Structures are given as structure tokens and as C-alpha cells.
Amino acid sequence: MLICFFLDTLGKGCAFVAVLLVVFQWTSEAAGPLERKAAAVGTSVLLSAPDNIKDINFIQWEYQNGTTWYFIVQYYVGSQKPTLYPPYENRVVFYSLNGSLLLENLQETDSRVYKASINLIESEARTTLLKVLRPVSQPQIWSSSSLAGSPIELFCNVPGGTVENIDWEKEGGPLPQERCYLLSENDSVLHIGKGGKSDCGSYSCNVSNEISWQESLLNLTIVDISPPLELALKMSAIAVVFALVSGMGFFVLCCQSEKKRIKGENWRWMIIFIQVLVCVSSILLFAATVLWMHEEGPSAAFIVLEILLVYVIIVTVLISATLVYQPAKLSGFKTKPWQRVILDSAAPGAVILVVLFASLLLQKISQLQDRGCSQTVDLTGYAVISAVISLFGLITLFIWYHRSQRDQRENKRHSKEEADQEVQQELREDMLQRP
């Protein structure tokens, strides 16, 4: 433990000494003040020589590579032309009048320290640190998610250029203090945490270096509920409407006076229609519950509901299939009283079950709907369309029933009239035959 501490201190000490050495070396070698310049790749930059020396005899330009200095230009005043050294000989223009050096067609590898000295006076030399940068390109900004309650990260990706700085802003100002935003090490990822209403808005990332900057904007809309929950919401709404309409159907069938009770073919198709409606609404609620549990986790109440719904679906499919293909056999299933109870109560029970639980689900999902800032799902259209479809079926069946009732009555009247006529005819024949 102690040794570790010792070594650690020793390590830090060494690092400190190294830094001191570097600083010392720097100050000893670069005599004058260090100027800084930045330029873009492919452009040119003009470097200036010292301008405080009167009698100029000799001008010399050097560059530093590692710890060594290499010549670029040497010029004796009065000589024909300057001596240029590789590798810069073809990329520089030397102005002998004022000693300036124009560096052309800059590359990133030209980022280094340049030094101009006059008459070899080291203390008056002028050093310039040149930084050659690629201009930043337009950043791409996107979010990992936009769902309320889920962790949200914004990414700022810069396809090209030398990125030195990334600044994030919200609504054109600094990021709000009250919200705990986290930035990744190089600032390219903004962690928002669990998304909520207050996180909606426009975010921008400003990518820059010394010579250029680019900015991109993202309008973040926090979505209240995930697409599966939205689907579950719509399914529950349709299930409620179908269940209510089939409940209406049952009510009408039950509350008829004994004289007008629907019988025969009409009764059969009415029951088939209602059973199918109950079956469809049960399937919809079943699917909606599965989606809900997939998103929000399972719960015992909903699992029991699923089992009951499977039972309802099987019974309603059985009854409607039997009524469609072999109506006579239905009474065969109902020989014992308990069978009759099970088969007859399945659909009305399911209506109550579906209405209750679909309303519960609707309420639960709606509660989640004010977490974000997206538009709430409008269910009116779905409710109206499903109501129109199911009521249309029910009303069509009733109209058909009343038509057939009227036909029957007329048939009866006709046959009665015919019978009367026959009787009268017989009477007449009877009278004629009598003497």
C-alpha cells in the first residue's frame, strides 16, 4: 500500500519534472514571443520575419521537426537569390525585401513551429506556431429515441474536418441548468436522461475549429406513447364499441314481447352476428392487452383476463360456426343445464368483461399521453367508424326481420282470404246442388 503510494507520487513527480523540462526547452529554444496562426488545408499563409533590426545582412527561415531545426531558406543580402532547401523548396515564396515567407498549398503535416532570424540573432528571432486545419463539414444531428420515459441521447456527428470544439445549445441559448444534461468525453453525445415534456424543443450543435464552424438543428418532439401502445389504444376503443353494440343486440333480443319474439332464420343470423361481434371485440382486447403487457410489463389481472378472453373466443367461434353450418346440432350441446348456462352466458359475460377492461386499458394508456409533447391520438374516427359498421349490420338484420314479418302477415291474410273464398264456393255449390 505504502509502496504503491510512493510509486504513485514518484510517477507524478516524474511527470512534473518532464513538464518542467519541456517548458524549459521551449523557452530556451524559442527566443521571441510565439505567434499563433491557423490556416485551412490547401491555402497559403504568409509568415513574417522580425521587423526591429536595422542593418539586415542575412535572413534565415527554419522549421522544427521533433527537437531539431531544419533550414527552409537562407539569404545573404546582396546575393543573387536565396538558397531554398527541400522539402519546402517548391512550396515557398521568399520576399527578399522584407524577409516574409509565403507557404503555399498547406498540408496538415505543415502544422509546426517556424522561425525567422536575422543576422543569426537568436534572441530577436520570430517564431510562429502554424496550425493547418481541415474546415469542419456540416454536422449530422439525430436522437437515439424520442419516447417519453426512455433515455434519450442526441448525437452530433461530423463527417469531415478537424473538430476542436462542439457546443450544444437549446432554443438558441445555453443548455438549461435545472435539467441534468451529461456530455460525452468529446462532447459529441448529449445525454438527456429520461425524456419528458421539458425536453421538447430545438437543439443545435455548433462544431468549430479555429478557421471554421458549422451548425445543425434538431427539433426534438418527445412522443407520449410508443407505436405498440398507440395500436393498443385504437384496438381498445374499437373493442369497446363492438362490445357495446353487441350488448345492445342482446338487450333487444331479450326484451321482446313473447308475441313478437324473433324466431327461425332471423333469430339464427341475429345470434351469429352478435356472437361474431363479441368474438372480434374479444380478439381485439386480447391483442391490446398483449401489447400493453409487452410495453409495461405483465400483471396478474391482465393474465387472468387473457385466459377468460381465450375461453370467450373459443365459445363464440364454436357457437357461430355451429349456427352457420349445422344449426340443428346446437341444442345437442345444451342437453345438460350447466352446458346451457356456460354456452348462453359466455357472450353476454364477455360484453361486460370487454367493456370494463377495454375502458380500463383506455384510461391507463390515456394517462401516459401527457408525458411528451406530441399530439394525442384522436380516437373519435375509430370509434365512429366501428360504431357505424356494427350498427349497420344490426339494423340491416332488423329491417330484414320486419320485412319477413310483414310478408308472413300478408301470406296469412291471403291464405285466409283464399280459405274464405273456398268455403263460400262450397256453400254456393252446396246450395245449387240442393233441390
- Residues at the contact surface with ligand NAG, assessed by CB under 6 A: 48, 65-66, 70, 87, 95, 97-98, 100, 167, 202, 206, 208, 213, 215, 217, 219
* Count of all residues that appear for the chain in the document: 435
Q: Residue 211 or residue 305: which is nearer to ligand NAG going by CB? A: 211
- Strand blocks (E) in 25-150: 34-40, 45-47, 58-65, 68-76, 83-84, 92-94, 101-103, 112-118, 126-133, 140-143
Q: Residue 208 or residue 359: which is nearer to ligand NAG going by CB? A: 208
CB of 146 to ligand NAG, least distance (A): 13
Written as one string, the DSSP assignment of 338-389 is HHHHHHHHHHHHHHHHHHHHHHHHHHHHHHGGGSSSSPPPP-HHHHHHHHHH
CB of 322 to ligand NAG, least distance (A): 58
C-alpha grid cell, residue 29: 529554444
CB of 196 to ligand NAG, least distance (A): 19
Q: Residue 20 or residue 217: which is nearer to ligand NAG going by CB? A: 217
CB of 225 to ligand NAG, least distance (A): 22
CB of 218 to ligand NAG, least distance (A): 6
Q: Residue 81 or residue 434: which is nearer to ligand NAG going by CB? A: 81
CB of 106 to ligand NAG, least distance (A): 13
Q: Residue 67 or residue 367: which is nearer to ligand NAG going by CB? A: 67
Instruction: Please say whether the beta carbons of 202 and 215 come within 8 A.
Output: no
For residues 210 and 61, give the distance between their C-alpha atoms in angstroms, rounded to a whole number: 25
Q: Residue 128 or residue 281: which is nearer to ligand NAG going by CB? A: 128
Written as one string, the DSSP assignment of 162-205 is ---EEEEEETTBPPPSSS--EE-TTS-EEEEEE--GGG-EEEEE
Q: Could you tell me which of 170, 215, 160 has the C-alpha nearest to residue 190? A: 170
